[in-house]
Every structure is written in structure tokens, then in C-alpha cells.
Amino acid sequence: MAKASPNAPRLSPRQRLAWLRLIRSENVGPATFRALVNQFGGAEAAIEALPVLSRRGGGHEIKLYSETEAEAEIEAAESIGAHLVAIGEPGYPPALAQVDAPPPLLFVKGRLELADSPVVAIVGARNGSAVGQKFTRSLAIDLGLEGFVIASGLARGIDTAAHKAALDRGTIAVLAGGIDIVYPPENEDLQQAIGEQGLLVSERSPGFAPRGKDFPRRNRLISGVSLGVVVVEAAERSGSLITARLAGEQGREVFAVPGSPLDPRATGTNNLLKQGATLVTSASDVVETLAPILGRPAAPPVIEFAAADETRTPEPLPDIQQSERELVIGALGFSPVDIDELIRTTGLETRKVHIVLLELDLAGRLQRHGQQLVSLTEG
């Protein structure tokens, strides 16, 4: 995978503050962030347009993240030795930049150079068996000797075993909460060690306590930073299987370690093998599968976020007639449709369609499904 160039454009402090304000503003997720920056040429111009867009979409006055809030968040991170990095900057994993709707900003702490190394994720059951944890430690050590950094989610069981075994050669812990929030509590020392010898990664603000719904979002980042995901043990319904599914959607290699059919912790991994996952009994299975990928140049991100020009004069909003707005809404439904198809169906200018979609998005009336697919929200 391509590494972040030391000469790559970096955000100025003013841009970084604006980016953080935009991504933290109401109804703005990674996909909406990208659409806004694409349309307005920068985060500052997008922030100025948010209230108008949300009103035109039929929503309430959108809540903007203030400069004071953004400055406090950055200061809180810096006070614990963390940094806010943008896509394309050193410390932002290049593989993650290639997924659909990558987070524009990440908080990172530790050895930033680890983000540029080839990464393999190892995940599994929180109640991992003694045999499963022993195999995990052996796999993590052997992959480390082959030059891979090990990523996981710092959960109990298999995750913890993977991180501990990989600590000396390189490990990345992706957190569901803020980079200063320890979960589970018994991993406090391990999290501190990774923040010094490895790399901690989070898209959440310092002090943010994770909720149940935040862990699948974290799992998307675990698979996103990696070339492949190895599932060691997983019950039939397991968060590790969510990570494996997301890995498949992101075009990552999915590996599974076979287990006894009598052990419920092997049900999920054995099912993955039935579905076509690569069987793993040693590190060589992973290394041989990923060998063709290593060194392959990564495609550039959909947008060069860090190259945004803060001095650029934003293009004014187009004059959109209500009849044109209704034409777009009429062409939408509750089933996902490609934006290019909307443009063809309505016959409207491309920018007008994108602006109407942003209006609906910020008003909470549009859902983005990735891969340029959108639909109306139900209810």
C-alpha cells in the first residue's frame, strides 16, 4: 500500500479547526462531509452554507459545532499527547483512505509511522479459549516477524492476546470511545503501553464514552486500516463477524481459523470458511494470500482533502426552483439509487442535484448508503 508522502499537503491550523467543526456539526457524517467539501471547495465555506441548506431541505436550524468547542477538543487531545490527523497526512492509515466514506479526521497517539506499514487485523471472541489465545499470540508474533503490524479493537480475549503479542513489533488499537477512555478497565496498562510503543486510533473526541452502537463503527475502522482480517474464534452472533462482513464489503481479505464443531466459539469461524473465507492454520496462509497485494500502489482518495484551498472563493449556491427540488425528491424513493441515475432521470444540472441532496441530507431526510447510493429516510 502507498505510504503517506512526507511532502503531502497538510491542513493549516485554520483548516484543521474548520474540518473538525464541519464533521462534528449536526447531521454531518463522513459521506456528507466529503460531498460538502466537494461542492464548496473547503470546510469553512461549507459551514457557512449549512444553515441555508438545512432550511431549504425542510429541516430545523442545524446545530453547528463552534470554534470554541473545536479548539477545546484539539487542546484536550494535545494535553494527553494525541494528535488530530487528516486523510492523507502522516499517521492516517493509507488503507483506510480507500474505503467508502472514510472518516476525514482521526485522533492518533503513539508511533505514527506504524500507520504506513502493512496491517493485518486479528479479532475474535471476548471469552476466547486458552487454545484460541495461544494460537493468536503465535500468529501475531509470526506475522510481526514478516513485517506486518497487528490491528485489533482492544477488547477482552482474542483482541487482548493479539495486542500483547504484537506490542514489541507493532500494533494498532482502534478504539470505540475517546483515545483517553479505557475500555475494558482491565486493559488500562495495555492501552497506555500501546499509546507509547504502538498506535492508538479513534475518530471520537477525547472523553467520549463508547455506547453499544459505537462498536460496529469501530469495527469498520479495524477492517478499514487492514489488508485482511483474521477471525480466530467467534460465536454465531459476534462482533467479530461484523468486522469480517465489513472487511468483505471493503474488498479486504477475510481469513478464519477452523475450530471444533462442538465449541460454540467456532461456529462463526467455521461458517466463514463455508462462505469462502481463507483457512488459516499458520501465518504463512496469511502471508501468501496477501503477497500479491503488498507493494501495489493505492488508488488516490476520492478527494484530496488535505489539498483544499482555504483561500478559494466558494461558488455561490445555484438558484434552484421549487419545481426542480420536487423533481429530485420525486425521483428518490426508499430504495437506494445511484446519484448519476438521478441526474439522468431528472435532466437537471449535476450541481443542482448534488445541492438538493445535501439539503435533504442536512434536514435528516436523506440516507447515504455508500458507493454513491442514496435514498429517502423512512418515517
Q: For residue 14, is it within any domain?
A: no
Residue 309 backbone class (left: φ over 0; alpha: ψ -120 to 50; beta: rest): beta
**Residue 140 φ then ψ, to 5°:** -65, -40
- Measure the CA angle with vertex 48, ends 45 and 50; round to 5°: 110
Short-list 202, 177, 19, CA closest to 96: 202
Q: What is the CATH number of the domain that holds 365?
A: 1.10.10.10
**Whole-angstrom Cα distance, residue 150 to residue 171?**
5
Which residue, of 290, 312, 343, is where some domain finishes?
Answer: 290
Q: For residue 283, is it within any domain?
A: yes
**Same domain? 180 vs 269:** yes
**Same domain? 358 vs 260:** no
Q: For residue 137, is it within any domain?
A: yes
The reply to whether the predicted model has a pTM over 0.95 is no
**Same domain? 272 vs 368:** no
Hey, what's the cell of 28? 454531518
**Same domain? 217 vs 366:** no
**Same domain? 263 vs 371:** no
Q: What is the CATH number of the domain that holds 171?
A: 3.40.50.450
Hey, what's the cell of 42? 473547503
Which residue, of 290, 313, 344, is where some domain finishes?
Answer: 290
Q: For residue 249, is it within any domain?
A: yes
**Same domain? 132 vs 278:** yes
- The separation between CA 366 and the C-alpha centre of its own chain, rounded to angstroms, equals 21
* One pLDDT digit (tens) per residue for the chain, 379 residues: 445 555 567 899 999 999 999 999 999 999 999 999 989 989 999 999 999 999 988 878 889 999 999 999 999 999 999 999 999 999 999 999 999 999 999 999 999 999 999 999 999 999 999 999 999 999 999 999 999 999 999 999 999 999 999 999 999 999 999 999 999 999 999 999 999 999 999 999 999 999 999 999 999 999 999 999 999 999 988 889 999 999 999 999 999 999 999 999 999 999 999 999 999 999 999 999 999 988 765 555 555 454 455 555 667 788 899 999 999 999 999 999 999 999 999 999 999 999 999 999 999 999 998 888 999 988 6
Peptide bond into 184 cis (omega under 30): yes
**Same domain? 190 vs 239:** yes
**Whole-angstrom Cα distance, residue 281 to residue 283?**
7
Enclosing domain of residue 327: 322-376
**Same domain? 252 vs 123:** yes
**Same domain? 166 vs 282:** yes
- If one counts the domains in the chain, the total is 2
**Same domain? 265 vs 200:** yes
